[in-house]
A and B are shown apart, each in its own frame.
Chain A
Amino acid sequence: MPPAIVATGLSFCYPPPSPALPAQQVLDGLDLQVGEGEACAILGASGSGKSTLCHLLAGLAPRYTGGHSAGRLVVAGCEVQQAPPPVGAIGVLFQDAATQLFNTTVENEVAWGLEALALPPVTIGERVMQALQRFGLLHLRYRPPWALSGGEQKRLALAALWAMRPQVLILDEPLGGLDPRGCIEVLAALRALKAQGTTLLAATLRPQTARLADHAALLAEGRLTSATTPEALLAEEARLYHAGIYFPPARWPGLRPQRPLSADPPAVALRQLRFRYPDGHAVLHGLDLTIPQGQFVALIGANGAGKSTLARHLNGLLRPTAGEVRILGQKIAGQAVGTIARQVGFLFQRPEQQLFGATVREELAYGPRRLQLPDADARVARALRHFELEAVAALPPAILSYGTQRSVTLAALAALETPLLVLDEPTVGLDGAGWQQLLLWLAERRAAGVTLICITHELALAAVADRVIALHEGRLLADGDPAEVLPRLDPEVVA
């Protein structure tokens, strides 16, 4: 039987994003072979070309993306560079599954591709039901895809692909952006696909995904290392670290307090904080909480526990239905978000989507100028230097790579030099190099006495905090030293 994927000397370059820049060579003579029914994992850091490789294999690049490819590529028996592959032969799961769902109900999402295959309606009906059942979505069939959780969206995208009976499934970071529960759901679905003999290729930076595969290879500088078992590759921690994929906790900077905590006044004081949305849905049910200045607090809990809702009260984006929020002793009721921003720096989820500056320098200068901070230019210069962004300072953030955009979001926050930092899932989507940059900055901020409040699903990060606060359905479930709290928690509650 011929292999399902053969790439020989595959190269790809994108046109330059602006005339001042060179063309971007992403792949440079890559060789790859995946046998029928095998599962292969490709490990690579952000910007190593994982997504580009996925698009090439699916016949989408350069056809719909621009750029130039060279070398030989055969996927599922088609020379995908010469002609588009037949409809449904190659399935591709995008990194952000939400962008891949474009119908108004779950069942129509699955049916759409089958209609494109021009199958008779009876067959479509059978396959839709089969796919929904198999991926545990039958009870959601009439819901709009955009109202599903991250894990459900990924499963729906997989169901829609699987229903078309692809010979090869390409998975671009299949666990990207998922909470622990979503990861468990999607991993189970992928294991089932593999057991059934579907050829899988997963591009990822997560060891969890790599362990699913029969063999794994490392993507760096546009080429693949020779394939080995995932276990063997993951055991080479130093190599993964140098490739920017993984930042092992053994190498983390010290995040323990270097200054005494001060409770006079406390950084955050919540009294009987309650919140319900205008539609009546209550999220927080009377929280009392005091966080001294200089403490590093990890806020954990399952999706829907109220973590982000609580965080949004700390800079006034949400206002309590009842109760009181004090920041550094001051009541914040009546203060505008833009005024509270002097005290509280806030990192949103998916911050790279919120860049609005014309250049990186402008992006960084926005906050200090708005707040009329005395030494705005010096702050911007310091942040540019700290995050090694001087070379791209004059470029628009929109054309930068994902990893660099994430650096810009941190730098924009750093330039404000606020005494409090609230970070909502700051590690989602970060590779090893991104983790390293984030943790080094946090260590430095801690040394400066900054109060850190960090929402996270990463228990390794929670473990190095001074204090863990676990929320469950809008109430405090546990509060204390990580060494005491974390072992006691039911994994279901924090997942």
Chain B
Amino acid sequence: MNTRHLPEALGATVLLLASATLAFHGQPDLEQKWEFLAPKFEPLLAEREVYIDPAELLHLMNDDYIHLVIYDVRSESDWNEFHLVDSTLVALENLKLERDRLLSLPETAVVVVVSNDEMLATGAWKRLMAVAKPNAYILEGGLNLWLNIYGVPDEETGGHGKASLGKPDGTLRHPFKLALGDRHAAAQPDEHHLQHREYTPKVKLLKKIAKAGGCD
């Protein structure tokens, strides 16, 4: 071989070896990405800093200044029975498809993940962090607790009242006679007509909102 081309040949070999070993090694999937991110985000789960009280979610739902995104990660049958107004049904495995939407959210956006209890929502939150690291939170106690608080025992639900939250198993504890979806009274309760519920605010916006104007 002509030694004049030795540096070029060496460079080409290094590039080929680096790319071939990369192909053999592969790219991390969402679970592996979560393992990389876990040291930073696991403490938020352990200290329950990202679990928000239903009253805080209700407040967010009624705050026009906040760009609220609610991901409901339950099964379609549970979703059909009851879901929150303006929530989006997304299967856990499809959360990665939300990347572009999440990355284009404004700084005033808050993402809340809901499931029947906290199990599925916590898994979804981990995936969201691996996909796009949005400003995301989890509904404390899930929709079972939400319905215990805001699910008035009216005639359409057969007076299901409060369900036992006992040991979470991922199921919807409230029976519904009709699949009302977001037409149920608890899908968008009026914050101003409910008894005030004390909670510790946990949602932090990426950008402080300057509220001005209006009559309030």
| Physical interaction between A and B | no
Residues of A within 8 A of B (CB): none
